[in-house]
Amino acid sequence: MPETVLAEGAAQTVEPMQKRTGLFGGRIPLARLRDLALVPAIVVIAIVGQIVNPVFLQADNLINVLQTMSEMALLVLAQTMILIVKKMDLSLESTMGLAPGVAAWLVVPAGAGHGLGLLPGAWAIPITLAVGALVGVINSLLIIRFGLNGFIVTLGMLIVLRGILTGISGGQTFFQLPQSMLYTGTAEWFGMPASIWICLALFAVAIVVLGWTSFGRSLYAIGGNVDAAKAAGIRTDRVLWIVIVTGSVLAALAGLMLSGRLASVASAQGNGYIFTVFAAAVIGGISLNGGKGTMFGAFCGILLLFMIQNVLTLAGVPAQWIGALNGLIILVALAISRITGGKVQE
Amino acid sequence: MSDGERTVTPAPAPADDGRALAAPPVVEATGIVKRFGPTVALNGARITIRPGETHALVGRNGAGKSTLVSVLTGLHAPDEGTVTFGGGPAPRLSDRDAWRQRVACVYQKSTIIPTLTVAENLFLNRHHHGRGRLISWTGVRRRAQELLSTWSVEVDPQSPAGELSVEQRQFVEIARALSFGARFIILDEPTAQLDAAAINRLFDRIRDLQRQGVTFLFISHHLQEVYEICDMVTVFRDAAHIVTAPVADLPRAELVAAMTGEAATDRRQERVGSLDHSTAPALAVHALGSDDLYTDVTFQVGAGEIVGLAGAAASGRTEVAETVVGLRAAATGDLEIAGHRPRPGSVPAALAAGAGFVPQDRHHQGFVPDMSIADNATLSVPKRLGRNGFLSRDRRDQLAGRMIENLAIKTPGPELPVSALSGGNQQKVVMARALADDPRLLVLINPTAGVDVRSKEFLLGKVEETAASGTGVLIASDELDDLRMCDRVLVMFQGRVTTETARGWHDHDLVAAMEGVDLDA
């Protein structure tokens, strides 16, 4: 029987089984290590950033990076869950705009822009989240209940929701948002913006749920082989409903945080985000074929993208070139994760 | 989601009284009628399976075996008739847990989730929960380890299930079934994708479990397996029960007769060799080698000759055949197809040189399931369908029509998607494509895997016919029936050609050579 002494000093006997792949005599399987594949890249970027501009590693700058990424990170979280069950939701970026847009429309006093002023300001947050849930319900209904193709359904929803927001706002931006809507984007808890706390807390919850609960594992089972999941007694449709609706609610929350930070709801809020969201998820090791990847990996993916953008800004790259570089970064990051991840991306 | 943990059934109790005739049957189905639209899949079918026996269910494709399995496992409710388990009525269809405690089925199609670990697959949706309702992964691993060692399945519970071999996957599925408390297991063509050695290990496992009181329903196209492993056999034909008898009381010829409804000749006629020395050999392979897979493989296939390439799963036979048709490139050696030297590792070059090819796994490499028979059959010969890159539908349908006729594919027309055909007819489509361009060399890998008796006879007859017209044929297979008509059989063992025998070999000699055993020693 092979004896393996762990680095921590705890002596553990390993069952007399075949060879194990992984560190510490198989205590940490290789699959787990792949989740950490982006950590070296993040460290490298941090070092490069520090060399480029010593401001980079200062607390203010790091908080700035985390805050600007917090809203999109929530979309990544939502999309990651949805990708793991082998679905896609393109409409998240429109939900992110429409949900706070509807709230602002109903709450912002008449006379200021296109506001109707029908409801008191306290209603803003419940309305935002309810609109998110409603969008999720419609998506689920079309995809799960009626069996339509998820990609096309959410593509249609993306366009419809964006159009509704443009319609109710007259293509303009809502200002004079009520205090409740500004709160999540402006408040500070324990010296850090609330949106960072919310983002980190939700990721922590998601990591635990996906890794350590039956519900979370059923997401992987459904994405990996839906028939086998059904055969194992998982109520697959119900899980899919929960995932898609939760995803839309998270998108609404992300929209609320963004509106709060910018103190406005632009009719183009969230426009074009979904591409970066997909890129971050794939860079973070989420398979578009479902059943693979972890929340931690997805978080690393979005963090890496925003750190690189920040380094570029600090290096004084002209703003006109940032767009082209962003696309290039995504391609390079994908290539890096292909090399460190080792497997062909599907 | 989950209702927490359920106990894993501990080590099995010895079945001392399990075989007593007084005990109620493990499962009894009577008068089962099942219709799918206008098709009657089962018409008054019945089966009775007694405790501790291994019961074979045989029948040609479309006889109703799969439908019976789905009724016995609670996937479909029968339109008429009753199913009882151990004398008690079958549970409601929605009560999956109750079904799983009574019966489990290892399907041809895997019900394992490839992206998850073996341990998680075993305890999917019934994870071991530790404190705070969170899953305890050490607990899950430990129980998986216990379960696997209880049934002596040697698989690392932490390895991803996608990395398991077919054989290991089946053992894991059996162990999972047993852990639900089921002591009646249906094996649906378990040997279709296994090589001879793995089949033997599977049979050892079945006998082992049988001694521990597990009852099996065994579905197979291979009659010799039925004789080897089963006690009772039930034959279905045309959606109805034909006969149930102890295996020992039913000779092979009678069994085949019951399946086909007509007296079948037991052994095909010895064919007359059609080797043509006057033209260049269809295939000449010299000192072919590829890293770990095979080394120094040299042989020729003459025009009109049928050569078998036998060997166990990892012997390299499949790899050599795939190299010949350009699916792989050899590291060393030469390869000539009908006098041409195709670019190594290029399928188009091999096809242009005159090769036709039936790949190993038809589902994987053989056809595009949702495309029509016509499209699939003509996939490799676009230049015969029209000029300048435009396809002529008429010409395609004409060509496909001839193929359908030529290979007796049972279909209402060439526009039917291949996925709607039975296994035997699907394989005929693949064969039709291989023959579409009148190849000089026909390469077949496991050409009759998962194909019913009659289609098998037909396909092999077609091969002989093709050889008689002057085509060289290379059959890479470990199926003795495929190899029986070969003029010569080359046996590969661990990547080398070890034995060459002319026609007229004895089964046990060839099997011994494939397993690397010397019978004379």
Indicate the DSSP class of residue B364.
I
pLDDT of residue A113 exceeding 80: no
Distance CA B510, CA B517 (A): 10
Question: Which residues in chain A are closer than 8 Å to B113, comparing Cβ atoms?
Answer: 220-221, 224-225, 228-229, 291
Architecture of domain B283-515: 3-Layer(aba) Sandwich (3.40)
Question: Which residues in chain B are closer than 8 Å to A235, comparing Cβ atoms?
Answer: 1
DSSP for B13-68 reads: PP-SSTT-TTSPPSEEEEEEEEEETTEEEEEEEEEEE-TT-EEEEE--TTSSHHHH
pLDDT of residue A7 exceeding 50: no
Tell which wins on pLDDT, A79 or B372: A79
| Closest among B277, B257, B290 to B454, alpha carbons compared | B257
Nearest chain B Cα distance for residue A115, angstroms: 43
Question: Which residues in chain A are closer than 8 Å to B171, comparing Cβ atoms?
Answer: none
pLDDT bin (cut points 50, 70, 90) of residue B1 is very low
Q: Where are the alpha helices (DSSP H) in B217-290?
A: 223-229, 252-260
> Which B residues 68-127 touch A at CB under 8 Å?
96-97, 100, 109-117, 120, 124-127
Distance CA B444, CA B280 (A): 20
Q: How many helices (H) and strands (E) does chain B have?
A: 16, 19
Residue intervals in chain B for CATH 3.40.50.300: 27-260, 283-515
C-alpha distance from residue A165 to each of A136, A268, B276 (Å)? 17, 8, 78
Indicate the DSSP class of residue A343.
S
Q: Which domains, and CATH codes, for chain A?
A: 32-341 (1.10.3470)
Terminal-residue alpha carbon distance, chain B: 61
DSSP for B158-208 reads: TSBGGGS-HHHHHHHHHHHHHHTT--EEEEESTTTT--HHHHHHHHHHHHH
Q: What's the confidence (pLDDT) of residue A151? A: 92
Mean of the per-residue pLDDT values of chain A? 86
| Closest among B14, B57, B16 to B208, alpha carbons compared | B14
Q: What's the confidence (pLDDT) of residue B267? A: 45
Contact residues, chain A to chain B, C-beta under 8 Å: 15, 17-18, 20-22, 26, 29, 31, 208, 211-215, 217-218, 220-221, 223-225, 227-229, 231-235, 239, 287, 291-292
pLDDT of residue B9 exceeding 90: no
Give tens-digit pLDDT for B110-163.
788 888 999 999 988 888 777 778 888 888 889 999 999 988 888 899 888 888
**A219-233, B355-369, B376-390, range with the lowest pLDDT:** B376-390
Tell which wins on pLDDT, A3 or B267: B267
pLDDT bin (cut points 50, 70, 90) of residue A27 is very low
| Closest among B434, B427, B490 to B466, alpha carbons compared | B434
Distance CA B287, CA B493 (A): 16
Number of residues that make up chain A? 346
Helix (H) or strand (E) holding B85: strand B80-85
pLDDT of residue B399 exceeding 90: no
| Mean pLDDT, range B44-65, rounded to an integer | 85
Amino acid sitting at position B164: L
Mutate to test the interface with B, among A33, A35, A207, A225 (most CBs of B within 10 A): A225
Distance CA A232, CA B80 (A): 27
Q: What's the confidence (pLDDT) of residue B61? A: 65
| Mean pLDDT, range B320-345, rounded to an integer | 88
Give tens-digit pLDDT for B425-436.
888 888 888 888
| Mean pLDDT, range B226-254, rounded to an integer | 87
B399, B432 contact by CB (below 8 A): no
| Closest among B275, B318, B271 to B503, alpha carbons compared | B271
What are the beta bridge partners of residue B160? Answer: B117
Rg (chain A; Cα; Å): 22
pLDDT of residue A17 exceeding 50: no
Q: What's the confidence (pLDDT) of residue A9? A: 36
What are the beta bridge partners of residue B358? Answer: B444
Tell whether the torsion through CA atoms of B324, B378, B451 and B489 is positive or negative: negative
Please name the residue of chain A whose CA is at the shortest distance from the CA of residue B148.
A17
C-alpha distance from residue B482 to each of B29, B318, B427, B461, B489 (Å)? 36, 14, 14, 10, 11
pLDDT of residue A18 exceeding 70: no
Give the side-chain half-sphere CA count within 13 A for B56: 25
Give tens-digit pLDDT for A278-295.
999 988 888 888 888 899
The tokens describing A136, both together, are 């999720």
Mutate to test the interface with A, among B107, B124, B150 (most CBs of A within 10 A): B124
Q: What's the confidence (pLDDT) of residue A14? A: 36
pLDDT of residue B232 exceeding 60: yes
Q: What's the confidence (pLDDT) of residue B217? A: 93
Q: Out of B96, B137, B158, whose CB is closest to A26?
A: B158
| Mean pLDDT, range B339-361, rounded to an integer | 86
DSSP 3-state of B233 = strand
C-alpha distance from residue B47 to each of B168, B209, B214, B237 (Å)? 30, 22, 18, 13
pLDDT bin (cut points 50, 70, 90) of residue A145 is very high
Rg (chain B; Cα; Å): 25
DSSP 3-state of B308 = strand
Q: Out of B1, B112, B158, whose CB is closest to A214?
A: B1
ipTM of this complex prediction, to 2 decimal places: 0.75
Terminal-residue alpha carbon distance, chain A: 39
Q: Are strands B80-85 and B54-58 parallel, antiparallel or unpaired?
A: unpaired
| Closest among B472, B9, B417, B416 to B214, alpha carbons compared | B9
Give tens-digit pLDDT for B55-78.
999 887 667 888 898 899 888 888
Q: Out of B115, B129, B135, whose CB is closest to A291?
A: B115
| Closest among A234, A60, A150 to B111, alpha carbons compared | A234
| Closest among A244, A198, A189 to A219, alpha carbons compared | A244
Tell which wins on pLDDT, B344 or A238: A238
Q: Are strands B496-502 and B488-493 parallel, antiparallel or unpaired?
A: antiparallel
DSSP 3-state of B454 = helix
The tokens describing B82, both together, are 């009753």
Q: Out of B109, B110, B127, whose CB is closest to A217?
A: B127
Cβ contact A292–B120 (<8 Å): no
Q: What's the confidence (pLDDT) of residue A204? A: 96
Torsion of CA A210, A211, A215, A217, to 10 degrees: 100
Distance CA B59, CA A288 (A): 41
**A134-143, A200-209, A223-232, B512-521, range with the lowest pLDDT:** B512-521
pLDDT bin (cut points 50, 70, 90) of residue B344 is confident
pLDDT bin (cut points 50, 70, 90) of residue B273 is low
pLDDT of residue A31 exceeding 60: no
> Which B residues 414-443 touch A at CB under 8 Å?
none
The tokens describing B144, both together, are 């998986």
Question: Which residues in chain B are closer than 8 Å to A26, comparing Cβ atoms?
Answer: 156, 158
pLDDT of residue A8 exceeding 50: no
Residue where the block lists tokens 């297979």: B477
Cβ contact B110–A225 (<8 Å): yes
| Closest among B325, B465, B328, B436 to B376, alpha carbons compared | B436
Please name the residue of chain A whose CA is at the shortest distance from the CA of residue B173.
A228
Q: Does domain B27-260 have CATH number 2.60.120.650?
A: no
pLDDT bin (cut points 50, 70, 90) of residue B365 is confident
Per DSSP (E only), the strands in B247-378 are: 283-290, 294-301, 306-311, 332-337, 355-358
pLDDT of residue A6 exceeding 50: no
To the nearest whole percent, how much of chain B has pLDDT over 70? 90
Tell which wins on pLDDT, B388 or B289: B289
Q: What's the confidence (pLDDT) of residue B106? A: 87
Q: What's the confidence (pLDDT) of residue B11? A: 40
Tell which wins on pLDDT, B258 or A86: A86
pLDDT bin (cut points 50, 70, 90) of residue A343 is low
B496, B289 contact by CB (below 8 A): no
